[in-house]
Structure 1
Amino acid sequence: MSDMLSQDEIDALLRGSAESDETNEKPEIRTDDHISTVEVDALGEIGNISFGSSATALSTLLNQKVEITTPQVSIVDRNLLEEEFPHPYVAIQVQYTEGFSGANLLVIRQSDASIIADLMLGGDGISPSQDLGEIQLSAVQEAMNQMMGSAATSMSTVFRKKVDISPPSINLMFIPKGEGKENLPEEDLLVKVSFALKIGELIDSSIMQLLPLKFAKSLVDELMAPEEVDIHTPSVPIEEPYHAEREVAAAHTVEAPRVEEPSVNVQPAAFADFESPQLGAHEAQNLNMLLDIPLQVTVELGRTNRSVKEILELSSGSIIELDKLAGEPVDILVNSQLMAKGEVVVIDENFGVRITDIVSQSDRLKRLK
């Protein structure tokens, strides 16, 4: 018996393979079927403005040059997220608490998040640990919090109202393994706004923003709302208030010559002598009303600057070196303003400070400005 297939059998196999491919082919989602070109442009402009300030905040935080370029807007199906996000990612969710009602999800690659965490913790970002522990995730969370805080401030300016967000929550996301999908928006269709992200010479990747389609459309509607109000409210008598103002202005113009200008007595300003104040009885009584106001007095031994990494490494028994020498006078602050200097003493079992020098009155006045 021959093991070779006949031409009819080969054709049948090819037809079956083609039918199988057609069956497995997934419907294509067209962006313009769900959002118009105007809405795409509006979402891109909102992203440009908000993430422009976010790049500045992240650059300051990481001490690296950060570039976030023009966004690309597309529609993704929640059921097809495995194709959109095939790699391990970190998802940061932010809820709007004022100004809007909705959520915003930032998605970055886990490898990029590792570099950001390393920079936040005082590293150079060149060879970061790929295992994101609790400390690393907290560092990335803080970086994204600063970014979204700046974005919310920019959106307040764009939408002319206060916009505020909740502290972000952070989760690892690897869709092919089913990790983190439960934290994604529940809507079937999502708007993905993708930005090219460059951080120095360390990261050349992307950062993505996922919004529910309904929420994205509401942002566009609110952005365009002022123009719609002007168009759809023709019954409001716009011209009448302006006519009334012109009539009032004309009346004032006619009556103005009838009013006689009062004589003005101009004298040089006189200021009290702070060095030797002479208070009258009334002034002394007013001053006495202020004498019972409590003030916070602080004795400062010294200061120092430490990175986040060094702070996190502190433990019981750690020693922090200050910027003052032993025996050097300490600063005495009143309501956080330097007022005097002194030396530390021990009174019975308590610490105290003996004042050795008082800041002059003129210097104190300058510090209060």
Structure 2
Amino acid sequence: MIDTNFTLSNIEQDTIGEIMNISMGAAATALSTLIDRKVTITAPEVKLVSGSDYDSKAFASAVCTEVRYQKGLNGSNYMIMKQPDVKLIVAILSNSKEEPDDGALDEMHLSAIGEVMNQMMGSASTALSSFFGHKITISIPDVFEVGKLGEKIMDLNLDTIVMVRFKFTIEDVLDSEFFSLMPSEFTKDLVKKVLNNGHQAETKEKREGGKKQRPKPSGAYRVDEMSNKTANQNQANTNQNQVNVKPLKLCSFDDEQEPASAEYSQPSFDLIMDVPLEITVEIGHARKLVKEILEIQQGNIIELDKQAGDPVDIIVNGQLLARGDVVVVDDNFGVRITEIVSRKNLFKA
């Protein structure tokens, strides 16, 4: 049932703005990676729009992307990007030197921006997963010209829509706007989850705080006990129970020539010696345009940036640890270490 009296308090509007700031910040990072330029999607402005009064002409020459949530959230939201912005992004992806024209978008534009939005909203849902503390997944975004959005709003019988306006910039080439439209029911679900999470965290903190008492320092006394002791006795007990505090010493990672066991012989590392770390072997990278990715078929060969025989990179905990040669051991691939690069940043990632 649609709530015809739907409103948002100032706190709820701020909550929606913060949620969208988090998700669109991640989306901007994804787009920045794709086009290799600095991208910002910031300064969300939240307001309510009547569904019956919605006019798609307000977003003339724009593209809409419907994002449907499959897990973690219920509903959809609609991302609106201006048509010239879409053409500019596609031109950057295709390394085109020509100025985008004013003509209508073709299938290549819609396909390319669909893949871009898939990457952006995938990153946004990952950011929301971290924010809410549970997995959030989306379906493949549906891209269409904004004129069809009015039909969807009528079909869904939406009485109220929440519109969020963002400042959208691409380094040196674009200063524009980016919009998100959300049905009121979806918005209420978002706000409810945030406020419930905050309430549960506060309740848990109070509950644990009531159950746990701070441990008394060694040699400390209750007030009634202290009244029965002399000042000299208190001083003696205090001196007797003082703790000898020494500064924590961590081992140095500078000397790579020492044996590995010597580097980590400090007692400070005893507690983390059994922590598993993921080892990744990278044989190379490749950079392709979106249109080239869309044209990949079974049997195609992707050329990497390393020549045959070059050592592969061994990544531990996100840091380059070593290099080595690929070998085969009992029908399994392995890596023979040929060079230790650095252990300095191993535990900083």
TM value normalised by structure 1: 0.57
Residue of structure 1 equivalent to 2:91: 118
Which SS does the other structure have where 1:69 is aligned?
strand
Decide whether aligned partners of structure 1 residues 96 and 332 sit closer, same or farther in structure 2, where only a CA change above 3 A counts. same
Alignment match of 1:139 (pick from 106, 109, 112): 112
1:10-47 deviation line (CA, Å, top 9, x unaligned): xxxxxxxxxxxxxxxxxxxxxx9711111001001111
SS at match of 1:149: helix
SS in 2 for 1:141: helix
Q: Partner of 2:176 in structure 1? A: 205
**CA distance in structure 1 between the aligned counterparts of 2:37 and 2:207, rounded to whole angstroms:** 55
> What is the distance in 1 between the residues matched to 2:260 and 2:123?
46
Tell me if 1:62 matches 2:35: yes
Instruction: Say yes or no: does 1:242 pair with 2:212.
Output: yes
Q: How does 1:275-314 map to 2 (within 5 A)?
A: 306-309=288-291
Determine the C-alpha separation between the residues in 1 that align with 2:61 and 2:327: 57
For residues 166-177 of structure 1, the aligned pairs below 5 Å read 166-174=139-147
**2:67–2:141: 8 Å Cα contact kept in structure 1?**
yes
CA displacement 1:93-131 (0-9 Å, x = unmatched): 111111111111101112211212222223247335733
**CA RMSD of the aligned region, Å?**
4.4
3-state SS, counterpart of residue 165 of structure 2: strand
User: Residue 115 of structure 1 contacts residue 128 of structure 1 at CA under 8 Å; is this kept in 2?
Assistant: no
Instruction: Return closer, same or farther for 1:242/1:141 CA change in 2, 3 Å cut-off.
Output: same
Taking structure 1 as reference, are residues 230 and 126 closer, same or farther at Cα in structure 2, changes over 3 Å only? same
- Structure 1 residue 183 displacement after superposition: 3.5
Report the counterpart of residue 222 of structure 1 in structure 2: 193
> SS where residue 142 of structure 1 aligns?
helix
Query: Structure 1 residues 86, 146: closer, same or farther in 2, change over 3 A?
Result: closer
Give the Cα–Cα distance (whole angstroms) in 1 for the partners of residues 209 and 59 of structure 2.
59
1:339 is the counterpart of 2:310: no
Contact 1:92–1:107 (CA<8 Å) still a contact in 2?
Answer: yes
Separation in structure 1 between the aligned mates of residue 169 and residue 39 of structure 2, nearest angstrom = 6
Checking the alignment, whether the CA contact within 8 Å between 2:64 and 2:143 is kept in structure 1 is: yes
Q: How does 1:189-200 map to 2 (within 5 A)?
A: 189-200=160-171
Residue 120 of structure 2 aligns to which amino acid in structure 1?
Answer: M
1:81 shift after superposition:
1.8
Contact 2:56–2:146 (Cα < 8 Å) also in 1: no
CA-to-aligned-CA distance 1:309-328 (integer Å, 9 cap, x gap): 4566899xx9999989xxxx
The question of 1:183 aligning with 2:152 is answered yes
CA distance in 2, matches of 1:304, 1:242: 54
Residue 242 of structure 1 aligns with an amino acid whose one-letter code is K
Q: What is the aligned partner in structure 2 of residue 252 from structure 1? A: none
Equivalent pairs counted in the alignment come to 258
* Closer/same/farther in 2, CA of residues 160 and 117 from structure 1, 3 Å limit: same
* Cα distance in 1, alignment partners of residues 29 and 293 from structure 2: 25
Distance 1:322 1:161, change over 3 A: closer
Secondary structure in 2 matching 1:106:
strand
Q: 1:75 aligns with which of 48, 51, 69?
A: 48
Residue 73 of structure 2 aligns to a residue whose secondary structure is coil
Contact 1:71 1:194 in 2 (8 A): yes
> CA 1:312–1:151 in 2, change beyond 3 Å: closer, same or farther?
closer
Unmatched 5+ residue regions in structure 1? 1-31, 248-268, 272-299, 342-358
Once residues 212 and 167 of structure 1 are traced to their aligned partners in structure 2, the CA distance between those partners, rounded to angstroms, is 19
On the 8 A contact 1:54/1:151 being kept in 2, the answer is: yes
- Partner SS for 1:196: strand
Q: Provide the C-alpha distance between the structure 2 equivalents of 1:229 and 1:74, rounded to a whole number of angstroms.
A: 28
* In structure 2, distance between residues paired with 1:313 and 1:240: 61
Question: Is structure 2 residue 74 aligned with structure 1 residue 101?
Answer: yes
Equivalents in 2 of 1:149, 1:330: separation in Å?
34
Radius of gyration: which is bigger?
Answer: 1
Instruction: Write 1 or 2 for the structure with the bigger share of helix.
Output: 1
Deviation of the 1:240 alpha carbon:
6.5
Cα distance in 2 for residues equivalent to 1:270 and 1:131? 63
CA deviation string 1:269-293 (max 9, x = no partner): 999xxxxxxxxxxxxxxxxxxxxxx
**For residues 195 and 239 of structure 1, what CA distance do their matches in structure 2 show?**
41
RCO (CA 8 Å, sep 6+): is it higher in 1 or 2?
2
What per-residue deviation string (whole Å, max 9, x for no partner) do you get for residues 126-169 of structure 1?
Answer: 33573322221111011111111111111112211111111111
Query: Residue type of the partner of 1:160?
Result: G
Say if 1:159 and 1:223, in contact at 8 Å, map to a contact too: yes
Call closer, same or farther: CA 1:197–1:304 in 2, change over 3 Å: closer
Residues 241 and 84 (structure 1), Cα distance of their counterparts in 2 relative to 1, 3 Å cut: farther
